[in-house]
Amino acid sequence: MKNRWITAKAFFSFLSFSKVANFLQLYFSFHLSRWLGKPILWGQPTTLSIEPTTSCNLRCPECPSGLRSFTRPTGMLQDGLFERIITQTRNRLTWLHLYFQGEPFLNPRFLEMVSFANSAGIFTSTSTNAHYLSESTVQKILSSGLRQLIVSMDGVTQVVYEKYRVGGNLEKVEKGLRLLLKERKAQGKMFPRVILQFLVTGQNEHQIPELKAWSQEVGVDELQLKNTQIYDYEEGSELIPSDLGYSRYIPDGKGKWKLKKKIENKCWRMWQGAVVTWDGKVVPCCFDKDARHVMGNLQDQSMQEIWESPSYFSFRDQLLQDRSQIEICRNCTE
């Protein structure tokens, strides 16, 4: 609870009257849209996820970066485009997650982008597989202003870890994580807050007690046990844990599997914020990994033009009418 309060305090310190007013506009227009059954939109995005790169050093089985299965182009976000996006959105943006697909630390300008967003008064976070936490990188992280670092680690032994993080080296992850926490303490800093994220699967669920002890010993700020998204879940998968409390899916009673949570005709994410690919495409959410629903491109359009475009309103309208008809929504827990 203390660690979450520290993060919340940092988040609130970045807020301004314009950011709070914008959030309230979005919030009330979302609920009004649900009541009326048609999209009403007041305000601009309060959160963004921006993709530093689609490249990745690992080959995780349920990830298009790992599978090298994208049909969209792969590449690196250029800092000129990034700075234009931040300049456009800084007065209303409350949270920036510098991650979508890929491993962000593979972009050589990644931490410079973090610093730019931090200097613009925006709370920053990212997700990493933690294979690039070297001494020089750790120092840059600590001086970048990054507020939250999510480390994905799905096993506490190499044998189990590499079943999902294919090609990964658990010893390297642990060494880098310990180094970051040691240097943060030595410098008397509180950020970034380190969240250890564990995708619970049928292959690693037996390690949860050991994981909890390990995370306390290492000294991470928070441990998150996360359910795993599986693309072809209907026929079952060895990735579905036996403890269905950690699963997105349950048996349907007919020999198949189904989503545990019913898909409702609403989605706060469509009012809250958007996702931007490395080459400037704006897509509705993180479930659109292959960018099949492109609402516009920030290379030649403004965020406001895209956010208020007919295609975006049409997408929101479909959500309110029958969300089950949108393919990327069929495996969503929102």
pLDDT tens track for 23-46? 999 999 999 999 999 999 999 999
Q: How many helices (H) and strands (E) does the chain have?
A: 12, 11
How far the first Cα of the chain sits from its last, in Å, is 24
Reported as a single tens digit per residue, the pLDDT across 251-268 is 999 999 999 888 889 999
d(CA 264, CA 1): 31
What is the mean pLDDT for each group of 10 consecutive residues in the chain (334 residues)?
A: 85 96 98 96 98 94 78 93 97 97 97 98 98 96 98 96 95 97 97 97 96 96 94 91 94 91 91 98 94 96 97 96 88 75
CB 273, CB 47: distance < 8 Å: yes
Distance CA 195, CA 184 (A): 14
- pLDDT at position 3 is 79
User: What six digits make up the tokens of 212?
Assistant: 């909890």
Short-list 147, 85, 89, CA closest to 276: 85
Q: Quick check: helix, strand or coil at residue 274?
A: strand
For the segment 298-318, what is each residue's pLDDT rounded down to a tens digit?
A: 999 999 999 999 999 999 999
pLDDT at 68: 75
| Pair 295, 309: CB distance under 8 Å | yes
The single-letter DSSP state of residue 104 is: G
Cβ proximity of 99 and 126 under 8 Å:
yes
Residue 53: DSSP 8-state:
B
pLDDT at position 334: 67
Distance CA 256, CA 263 (A): 18
